[in-house]
Structure 1
Amino acid sequence: MSLPSDPLPHAVALTRARTPLASLVMLSVGLSLALFALSSWLAGSAVLLPVLGFGMGATVSCLFLIRHWPARRLGYANALTLGRLALAALMLVPLAEPGLTEGSSGWVFFCLALVTLSLDGVDGPLARRSGLAGPWGARFDMEVDSAFAFVLAAVAWRSEAAGGWVLMLGGLRYLFVMAGWLLPWLDAPLPQRFRRKLVCVVQIAVLAGLLAPIAVPPWSEFAALLALAALAWSFALDVVWLARRR
């Protein structure tokens, strides 16, 4: 009977992740309870969809934490990013019930979306200040932003603030990732660019604005179209840069 080739690296990884993993699990449970209470209050009845969506995201985060997080503590920045994931999952409530984007409830979801967006500028500096900045935290932050944008785009479509094409505004990055599976040169690392961050903020800000009850066609569609044009321009620049270096 053959022995495992090298169990030590896996054991070391589990040891390193045990403390941050426990923190992530406990924080996820607490956020799930708060999310259930808040979403049920906003919807006027018990709602499980946001909790299920957040649970799926938190589970994937736990799996990647075990494999890729080298520090012995989770850190406030990653805890904050997990909180933003919970707030993003809260947007599944108006996705299931588009009528909640009207009246006072619409303004509440609009404000919550703006809070989620504003917190995106906090976790990065917090991670650098605590000495825990790294590739995993940056990827975690980016994936939460992507999920948040896609859910917002879906809400905009369901609430008729824009047509079905608005899903491109939330899903263009996922199309880029899938294209990288077919064309590996698209999956090469990209240099840091302020332009990319700025366009991401504009993208999510416009999508959050489409939650406001006053966001109605044709002005809402015009704003979304401008944001989509900016996002497509940014991706086009990245594709050209990668194509020249393949």
Structure 2
Amino acid sequence: MRKVQSTPWWWAAAGIVALFVVGALVPLPPLAWAAGIAYLVVSSLLVSLGLRRRGATRFGAANAVTATRSMLVGVATALVVASVGGEASTALLVGIVAVALALDGVDGYVARRTGSVSELGARFDMEVDAFLLLVLSVYDARVVGWWVLAIGLMRYAFVVVAWLVPWFDRTLPYRYWRKVVTAACGVALTVVATQLLPPPANVLVAAAALGLLVESFGRDVVWLIRMNRADTDYVSPQEALTRDSDGARDESR
């Protein structure tokens, strides 16, 4: 019987240790501690459930890189919550986020080099990216206005619509452009967080990021509407190849 690999909780533990280190540098109120720890525990639990559901036998190096990014996002979450009460270090937050953004392309590279590309890994990576954008947009709201929250909430609004509208829950075709837009939004929001640019420039950078995200999500929405009107199901290239092979075998019998 194949043994299922449970999620290593090391990144949650490491994240909590990192919170203690950050707390020694910057005062973290109880709510900030709670937010950071809650993110670390919940994300670890969700990945663990995903591994068990898919019967995965190993966590993998690529997922370990994504987990490291997730740990950094947990610390960034605590710092952003602390900033609501005025207790925050912009330089520390930007430094942590910069490392998380730099690692964004590493997990995919490692997955391809080790032949460990998986649906769970891609989903894990995507959700870490989405939550990081949400955290950054919350921090930037005080710099450019609350409208910037649209960047962080757009992914979650898409998920809610998919729950309410069945045909919205189709599997989307792969587009590398989504990854580019997500990375660009992360960089833009980090630049705004530094507050090194003049106020009008901060607004322009954030607005450009929002425009890119609207274009990316809009393209997916248009595709979903077209598929719904055509009443067809999306078939991945791999599944299509399998179906063609099965059909060829049937014809040869």
TM-score range, shorter chain: 0.7 to 0.9
- Where does residue 41 of structure 1 map in the other structure? 24
- Where does residue 92 of structure 2 map in the other structure? 108
1:73 and 2:58 equivalent? Answer: yes
Percent identity of equivalent pairs: 32
- TM-score, length basis structure 1: 0.83
CA contact (8 A) 2:136 2:152 kept: yes
Say if 1:60 and 1:203 are closer, same or farther in 2 by CA, change over 3 A: same
Say if 1:124 and 1:69 are closer, same or farther in 2 by CA, change over 3 A: farther
- Where does residue 182 of structure 2 map in the other structure? 200
Gap runs ≥5 in structure 2:
229-253
In 2, the alpha carbon distance for the partners of 1:216 and 1:188 equals 42
CA contact (8 A) 1:43 1:93 kept: no
Gap runs ≥5 in structure 1:
1-11
- Where does residue 173 of structure 1 map in the other structure? 155
**Any idea what SS the aligned residue of 1:16 has?**
coil
Q: Deviations over 1:88-126 (max 9, x none)?
A: 11112332232455xxx3122212211101101000111
Deviation beyond 4 Å, 4+ runs, structure 1: none
In 1, the alpha carbon distance for the partners of 2:67 and 2:17 equals 13
Q: 1:54 aligns with which of 25, 40, 47?
A: 40
Q: 1:135 aligns with which of 119, 142, 147?
A: 119
1:145 and 2:129 equivalent? Answer: yes
Number of residue pairs matched by the alignment: 223
In 1, the alpha carbon distance for the partners of 2:26 and 2:124 equals 29
Amino acid at match of 2:139: V
Which structure ranks higher in relative contact order (CA pairs < 8 Å, sequence separation ≥ 6)?
Answer: 1
Q: 1:119 aligns with which of 83, 97, 103?
A: 103
CA contact (8 A) 2:15 2:75 kept: no
In 1, the alpha carbon distance for the partners of 2:69 and 2:151 equals 20
In 2, the alpha carbon distance for the partners of 1:57 and 1:89 equals 9
Amino acid at match of 1:155: Y
